[in-house]
Structure 1
Amino acid sequence: MRRVLKATLIGGCVTILACGAAFASGGGSGGMAGGSGGAGDLQNLAPRYDPATEYAKAIAAMKAQQYRDAARAAEHVTDAVPKNPDAWQLLGAAKAGTNDWKGSRRAYEKATKLSPEDARAHAGLGLALANLKDPKAQTEAEWLKSKIQACGDSCPDAARLKAFTEQVESAMNPAAAGAPKPSALLDRSLLFGGAKTGDAAYVQAVSLINERRYDEALASLDKAAETFGPHPDILTYQGYTWRKKGDYARAETYYRQALAIDPKHIGATEYYGELKAARGDIAGARLMLAKLDKLCAYGCADAEELRRWIDAGGDPQKN
């Protein structure tokens, strides 16, 4: 019988910043860890800063146009979760607000490497390059134009792609009135939508996963991640969805990010163990199971599910 996933609201106490490190249990969180409980070869310690809280601080500072504070908080996020593209984009926008175009360029370069098809990242990089008088800005403008052509006028992203292209081309024009505000490259829901928007996207994503509509689920999870930043529940479901799509390597990157933030996250531990079992790494799966047995020793459905995978030598649904 197919397992049905459930979600708990992430921004349940108005904003994630107000909640501090009390993560929701949507992915089976055990709360923010402060000590041991590492996952095999993962670090045993949680990061110094709660990246989801720092992400929320950066968004609040961006909204108040306090760009130095935004950059400082965003740097805490990139330090804690260096493979999170949303964090690098936020840092790039904050650096642009302080006219640190070299810093903005470096941040957006990181974002484009981590998320090569993200138009926001390419637009941000184009703006930074244009303000540095770097001719490579034209390359980013051409990339955006190619996306417009492939998308077509009826594409849901058509208006946004055109706006991005116009912003980069305006910055390339010496006669331009001035560079766009850094917030122009951030989704308006980040600055004005708040936790309610992110919660809606997150809950919708879990429903879509249960319906096996994985591409749509990933789009909703991306929206939730833009609102809440690198939250372990979101990262866990991103990993789960990519695993269901058969991309085990990408799935692993999300599980590892979730566990780097919260080493005691039950859902990420279980699903990472399932991934290892699916790859034939039964020894690795047993390590995850041993950890789960310590985290939720009594009647733990997560541990029992992983135990089924190990006993089956992989996905029990395929046997």
Structure 2
Amino acid sequence: MKRVLSAAVVGASLTVLAGGIAFASGGGGGGTPAGGGGNMPSASSPSYDPSIEYAKAIAALKANNYKDAARAAGHVTDVVPKNPDGWHVLGVATAGANDWKGSRRAYEKMVKLAPDDATAHAGLGLALANLKDKKAQAEDDWLKAKAQACGDSCPDAARLKEFTSTVEAAMNPAAGAPKPSAMLDRSLLFGGAKAGDAAYELAVGLINDRRYDEALAALGKAQATFGPHPDILTYEGYTWRKKGDYARAEAYYQQALAIAPNHIGATEYYGELKVAKGDIAGARVMLAKLDRICAFGCADAEELRRWIDAGGDPQKH
């Protein structure tokens, strides 16, 4: 089986809530030009680490500080606009601040990126209901259909029923009834670094056992804790590639590299994906990058070089 990153990196690479963050198999670059003080103010813009901003947003949500939560979540979506978790947190924060138009926009983005995510549809339905928009009924119908298909005994049964009742309460508010909560999924607040690390470590083991669907579920739990972390995104890309969905795999690799352009693991795996797709020229570009950022006997570069030398047949590895 193809080598993947060791689970031993978990504690060092995913501890974002305690302050700083390390990227396994190569973090993002940076620095300033030799002898200079960096770019001129007119040519630069703020650069945010989305994992750190995500942690800030969650901390602000726990404190019911919705304005700061929305600001931090906005930084996440600015850096990785194709990651649904950032839009989820932004949707919760704006709803908490009674900015239902902002919440609607955030959840519309999330639904587009994760069309089968019940939380996204429930959040959108809640926002639409508070805006007195009749389209809320379509989201309620989606949730009911999802609940019916799931059945009473499926793991998400209770959660889906709660989502449906929350949206319907907002659509048809009873006199004197409490306002439906903007926090549709409380798991955002009760994860914590230890739980996130445990989910990540579990995912690594599941990937090595080729239990890819279970691995994706575990990676989703880790990402709900840490946000769009490049190590998690890289593994999601790897897992989707092993499942044969190259388009999804590429999207995850691109997200990881948008956050950490010099992430060695993402660069190698993206090169391997290009080999699998028959794009040998593109794979050589990734290899040249690895030779630049991961010198002195870099195993990642040598692995990708073997893939390329095999003539574009990943089954030889």
Task: Answer whether TM exceeds 0.5 for this pair.
Answer: yes
Q: Are the equivalent residues in 1 in contact too, given 2:202–2:215 (CA < 8 A)?
A: yes
* Cα distance in 1 between the residues matched to 2:290 and 2:126: 46
| 1:5 to partner: Cα distance | 4.1
| 1:6 to partner: Cα distance | 1.7
| 1:4 to partner: Cα distance | 5.0
Cα-to-partner distance string for 1:76-97 (whole Å, 9 max, x where unaligned): 0000110010100110000001
Match of 1:200?
198
Q: Where do 5+ consecutive residues of structure 2 fail to align?
A: 33-43
* Cα distance in 2 between the residues matched to 1:230 and 1:286: 27
Match of 1:3?
3
Q: Helix, strand or coil for the counterpart of 1:153?
A: coil
Cα-to-partner distance string for 1:16-64 (whole Å, 9 max, x where unaligned): 03332x3241xx2x2232269xxxxxxxx99710000000000000000
Q: Are the equivalent residues in 1 in contact too, given 2:275–2:314 (CA < 8 A)?
A: no
- 1:19-98 to structure 2, matched below 5 A, reads 19-20=19-20, 22-25=21-24, 28=25, 30-34=26-30, 48-98=47-97
Match of 2:41?
none
Which one-letter code corresponds to 1:293 in the other structure?
A: D
* Cα distance in 2 between the residues matched to 1:47 and 1:234: 24
Match of 2:297?
299
Match of 2:137?
138
| 1:13 to partner: Cα distance | 8.7
Q: Are the equivalent residues in 2 in contact too, given 1:33–1:46 (CA < 8 A)?
A: no
| 1:181 to partner: Cα distance | 2.5
Match of 1:39?
none
Flag the structure with more relative contact order, 1 or 2, with Cα contacts below 8 A and sequence separation at least 6: 1
Aligned pair in 2 of structure 1 residues 7, 191: CA closer, same or farther (>3 Å)? same
* Cα distance in 2 between the residues matched to 1:55 and 1:247: 27
* Cα distance in 2 between the residues matched to 1:109 and 1:115: 10
Which one-letter code corresponds to 1:125 in the other structure?
A: L
* Cα distance in 1 between the residues matched to 2:83 and 2:45: 16
* Cα distance in 1 between the residues matched to 2:234 and 2:63: 31
Match of 1:155?
154
1:191 aligns with 2:189: yes
Match of 1:181?
181
Cα-to-partner distance string for 1:245-298 (whole Å, 9 max, x where unaligned): 001011000000000000010000000000011111111101101111111111
- TM normalised by structure 1 equals 0.91
* Cα distance in 2 between the residues matched to 1:268 and 1:290: 14
Q: Where do 5+ consecutive residues of structure 1 fail to align?
A: 37-44
Q: Are the equivalent residues in 2 in contact too, given 1:32–1:46 (CA < 8 A)?
A: no
Q: Are the equivalent residues in 1 in contact too, given 2:276–2:314 (CA < 8 A)?
A: no
Cα-to-partner distance string for 1:207-261 (whole Å, 9 max, x where unaligned): 1111111111111111111110000000000000000000101100000000000
Identical pairs, percent: 74
Match of 2:310?
312
* Cα distance in 2 between the residues matched to 1:276 and 1:97: 43
| 1:128 to partner: Cα distance | 0.2
Match of 1:268?
266
Match of 1:42?
none
Cα-to-partner distance string for 1:168-213 (whole Å, 9 max, x where unaligned): 0111113162333322x2342x312301111111111111111111
Q: What's the RMSD between the two structures over aligned residues? A: 2.0
* Cα distance in 1 between the residues matched to 2:46 and 2:202: 29
Match of 2:231?
233
Moved more, 140-149 or 4-13: 4-13
* Cα distance in 1 between the residues matched to 2:28 and 2:54: 16
Match of 1:100?
99
- TM normalised by structure 2 equals 0.91
